[in-house]
């Protein structure tokens, strides 16, 4: 599904060079529920961003579903993200002017799905994430957990091959975080799409069926459960 | 793709204050544009009308070279008007012969407040045919217009005020005959003229052609024949067609634009100045809009980062901001046009009284007191399109700056 080979990435912050990834290689299979864990600065967000085609590596290769995405143009990468990837962000990143329904529908709008199908799929997805009756609420009228559910619905409504979640529970209390993780796991089981999420929270790590530990840009351990 | 305009308009509604402030900057600029254009076009239009009604008509026939020496009013450069009568009659134009001459207007205390001697230019006119070419008789505010054969003088209202002249007062005119001999004759002021052309009101002195012919010993010769075809483009074309026929007679025919070159020059110089003013207004409005648009864009960097991460292409981001800016531009355009119309209405209906400023000098313009605005649809449409265009232009700039950030940087942006 995802084949990562020898990924290197160095950032320059002023005069300082930060080696974010140092030769990371990883194969992720279809339907995995994989957590990339590690302390702050270990390179997990960088790795997630590169898998998600929103950042580029200095060297190495990423092949997703047989396609080498590193050489894609900016527009083709955007189209790839739109059609095959779902994103869940730590701070939800919902569009404040849109309702829960519209935020979820936004993913399908981008794909050019016709309005009727957008409505059907969006309603179904919001129901599945437990937000039935809250479709017309703006993000400001939803709790953090509910907002993250909207974000998960937005990621899943387009039936992506891969959902990438960067610290999806970091802004939530433990109870709500657990609910969100339960939901993600349920969606992973139901839709069979691959979930890759980063975390430094041990509770979140416990949910993963595979745990990849990063340290200083290198894979320290890769444990299947 | 309807979600993009929908989102854009939702964003406009979300940032109501900013939308209104930006639209206000645009609308103020457009209002100024409309009002300034209205007044300047009004001045031009009014000046052109007054120039043609009271000074130049469609054009003038003279001896070649007379126009270049007009400051000396050379009587020897005169001609017999009968030589052009046939051509002019065939053309269907109204025409009026005149003699222009230089001289001194001399007046004495009682009935005048004090003795005086005023150098100036006199215009001898045919009282009947002149009224068919110029509108001078309509401007009489005291007394009457000239009659054939009377030893009368009609003078401008401001001139009369300056020297304390009244209808019935007698003045002396000191000049030279066509052969250069001194001549002195007296005339009775029979009328005072106050017309919209300040040149006439400030310094106009008119006497009957027959009187000038007698005292200047012109033997029927005149210094000019003024021709009137009307005031539209067809009239101009008719005059231009006349020019070669007049030249065949050994005379020169100059159209109103050459005769009113001082006004045309001012008008053209003003167009350049106006362009500068308008450019300045647009720059000020543009900086204001640019600032608020930049703030609007920078406040949403993370949101845009997320949209790009979800697969929104740069062109769609551009489109969304263009919709937003076009919305602001439309709003500013409508408000600006509305405000412009509101301010322009009294200007067009009542005008502004600038007589206190224009009495001493009208800067080449032929307007005397009231400056009127006009309803210029082209200016209003231009203003509207400028508003939208300006907003879109600055949005392009702001959006470009945000799209230069990569997606992870956008998502981290605080």
- pLDDT one-digit tens code per residue, B294-309: 887 888 888 889 999 9
- The per-residue pLDDT for range A134-191, each reduced to its tens digit, is 999 999 999 998 999 999 999 989 989 999 999 888 888 888 888 888 888 888 888 8
The verdict on a CB contact (< 8 Å) between A93 and B306 is yes
Q: What is the pLDDT of residues A23-66, one digit of tens each?
A: 999 999 999 999 999 998 899 999 999 999 999 999 999 999 88
Q: For an interface test with B, which of A49, A99, A109, A113 has the most B Cβ atoms less than 10 Å from its Cβ?
A: A109
Query: Which of B310, B321, B406 to mutate to probe the A interface, most A CBs <10 Å?
Result: B310
pLDDT higher than 60, residue B158: yes
Q: What is the 3-state secondary structure (H, E, C) of B219-274?
A: CCCECEEEEECCCCHHHHHHHHHHHHHHHHCCCEEEEHHHHCHHHHHHHHHHHHHH
CA A27, CA A5: separation in Å to the nearest integer? 8
CA atoms within 13 A on the CB side of A42: 18
What is the C-alpha to C-alpha distance for residues B369 and B355, in angstroms, rounded to an integer?
4
Query: In sequence order, what E strands does B320-377 have?
Result: 352-353, 370-371
Q: Kindly tell me if the per-residue pLDDT of B72 is higher than 70.
A: yes
Q: Do A82 and B311 count as a contact with CB atoms less than 8 A apart?
A: yes
Q: Please give the backbone phi and psi of residue A172, each rounded to the nearest 5 degrees, phi first.
A: -115, 155
pLDDT of the residue at B50? 86
What DSSP state is assigned to residue A41?
T
Mean pLDDT across B315-323: 88
Helix (H, G, I), strand (E, B) or coil at B210: helix
Cβ neighbours of residue B171 under 8 Å, at least 6 residues apart?
B105, B106, B107, B153, B165, B186, B187, B189
The ipTM of this complex is: 0.91
Residue B279 has pLDDT above 90, yes or no: no
On the question of pLDDT at B97 being above 80, the answer is yes
Q: Is there a cis peptide before residue B111, judged by omega within 30 degrees of 0? A: yes
Calpha distance A185→B205 (Å, rounded)? 102
Tell whether B276 lies on the interface with A, counting CB pairs under 8 A. Answer: no
- Residues of chain B with C-beta less than 8 angstroms from the C-beta of A54: 308-309, 406-408, 411
Q: Is B406 on the interface with A (CB under 8 A)?
A: yes
Q: Which residues of B touch A83 (CB under 8 A)?
A: 311
* Chain B residues closer than 8 Å to A49 by CB: 407-408
Angle among Cα B385, B391, B395 to the nearest 5 degrees reads 140
User: In which band, very low, low, confident or very high, does the pLDDT at B24 lie, cut at 50, 70 and 90?
Assistant: confident
Interface of B with A in 1-30 (CB under 8 A): 3, 7, 10-11, 13-14
* B12 contacts on A by Cβ (under 8 Å): none
Mean of the per-residue pLDDT values of chain A:
91
The predicted model gives B320-328 an average pLDDT of 87
* Residue B36 near residue B277 (C-beta atoms within 8 A): yes
Interface test with A, best of B318, B408, B410 (most A CBs within 10 A): B408
Determine the pLDDT at residue B175: 94
Task: List chain B residues with CB under 8 Å of A154.
Answer: 310
Q: In what order do the strands lie in the sheet with A59-64?
A: A16-28, A2-13, A59-64, A67-68
B227-253 pLDDT tens trace: 998 877 788 888 889 889 889 989 999
Chain mean pLDDT for chain B: 86
> Helices A74-84 & B314-349, crossing angle to 10 degrees?
100
Residue A102 in contact with residue A94, Cβ under 8 Å? no
Q: What is the pTM assigned to this prediction?
A: 0.69
Count the alpha carbons within 13 Å of A64 in the hemisphere toward its beta carbon.
Answer: 19
How many C-beta atoms surround the C-beta of residue A73 within 10 A?
A: 8
% helix, strand, coil for chain A, step of 5: 40, 30, 30
Contact A54 B307 (CB under 8 A): no
Whether B314 sits inside 8 A of A78 (CB atoms) is: yes
pLDDT confidence of residue B364 = 63
pLDDT band at B360 (very low <50, low <70, confident <90, very high): low
């Amino acid at each position: 599904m995802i084949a990562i080979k020898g990924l290197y990435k160095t950032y320059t912050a002023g005069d300082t060079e930060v080696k974010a990834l140092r030769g990371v290689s990883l194969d992720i299979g279809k339907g995995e529920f994989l957590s990339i864990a590690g302390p702050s600065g270990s390179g997990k967000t960088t790795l997630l961003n590169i898998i998600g085609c929103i950042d580029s590596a200095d060297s190495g290769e990423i092949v997703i579903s047989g396609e080498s995405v590193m050489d894609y143009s900016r527009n083709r990468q955007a189209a790839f993200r739109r059609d095959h990837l779902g994103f869940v962000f730590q701070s939800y990143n919902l569009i404040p002017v849109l309702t829960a329904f519209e935020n979820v529908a936004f993913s399908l709008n981008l794909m050019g799905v016709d309005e009727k199908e957008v409505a059907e799929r969006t309603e179904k997805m919001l129901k599945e994430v437990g937000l039935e009756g809250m479709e017309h609420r703006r993000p400001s009228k939803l709790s953090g957990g509910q907002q993250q559910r909207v974000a998960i619905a937005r990621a899943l409504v387009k039936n992506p091959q891969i959902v990438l979640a960067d610290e999806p529970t970091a802004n939530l209390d433990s109870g709500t975080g657990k609910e969100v993780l339960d939901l993600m796991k349920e969606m992973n089981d139901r839709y069979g799409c691959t979930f890759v999420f980063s975390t430094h929270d041990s509770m979140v790590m416990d949910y993963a069926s595979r745990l990849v530990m990063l340290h200083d840009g290198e894979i320290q351990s890769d444990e299947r459960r | 793709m309807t979600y993009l305009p929908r989102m854009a308009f939702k964003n406009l509604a979300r940032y109501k204050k900013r939308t209104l402030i930006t639209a206000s900057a645009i609308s103020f600029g457009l209002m100024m544009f409309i009002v300034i254009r209205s007044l300047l076009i009004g001045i031009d239009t009014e000046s052109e009308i007054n120039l043609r009604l009271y000074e130049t008509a469609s054009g003038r026939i003279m001896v070649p070279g007379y126009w270049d020496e007009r400051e000396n009013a050379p009587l020897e450069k005169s001609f017999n008007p009968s030589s052009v009568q046939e051509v002019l009659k065939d053309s269907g134009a109204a025409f009026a012969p005149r003699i222009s001459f230089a001289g001194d207007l001399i007046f004495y205390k009682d009935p005048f407040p004090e003795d005086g001697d005023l150098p100036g230019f006199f215009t001898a006119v045919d009282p009947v045919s002149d009224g068919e070419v110029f509108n001078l008789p309509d401007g009489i505010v005291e007394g009457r217009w000239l009659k054939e054969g009377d030893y009368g003088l009609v003078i401008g209202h401001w001139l009369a005020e300056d020297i304390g002249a009244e209808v019935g007062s007698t003045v002396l005119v000191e000049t030279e005959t066509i052969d250069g001999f001194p001549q002195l004759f007296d005339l009775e002021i029979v009328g005072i003229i106050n017309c919209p052309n300040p040149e006439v009101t400030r310094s106009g002195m008119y006497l009957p052609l027959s009187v000038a012919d007698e005292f200047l010993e012109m033997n029927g010769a005149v210094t000019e024949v003024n021709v009137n075809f009307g005031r539209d483009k067809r009239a101009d074309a008719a005059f231009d067609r006349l020019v070669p026929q007049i030249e065949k007679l050994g005379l020169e025919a100059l159209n109103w634009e050459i005769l009113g070159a001082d006004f045309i020059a001012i008008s053209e110089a003003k167009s350049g100045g106006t362009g500068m003013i308008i450019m300045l207004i647009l720059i000020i409005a543009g900086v204001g809009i640019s600032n608020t648009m930049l703030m609007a864009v920078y406040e949403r960097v993370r949101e845009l980062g997320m949209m790009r991460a979800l697969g929104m292409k740069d062109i769609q981001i551009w489109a969304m901001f263009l919709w937003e800016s076009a919305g602001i531009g439309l709003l500013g355009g409508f408000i600006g046009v509305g405000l412009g119309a509101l301010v322009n209405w009294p200007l067009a209906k009542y005008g502004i009284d600038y007589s206190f400023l224009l009495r001493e000098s009208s800067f080449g313009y032929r307007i005397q007191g009231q400056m009127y605005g006009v309803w210029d649809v082209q200016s209003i449409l231009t203003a509207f399109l400028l508003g939208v265009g300006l907003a879109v232009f600055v949005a392009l700039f702001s959006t470009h700056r945000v799209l230069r950030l990569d997606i992870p940087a956008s998502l981290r942006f605080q």
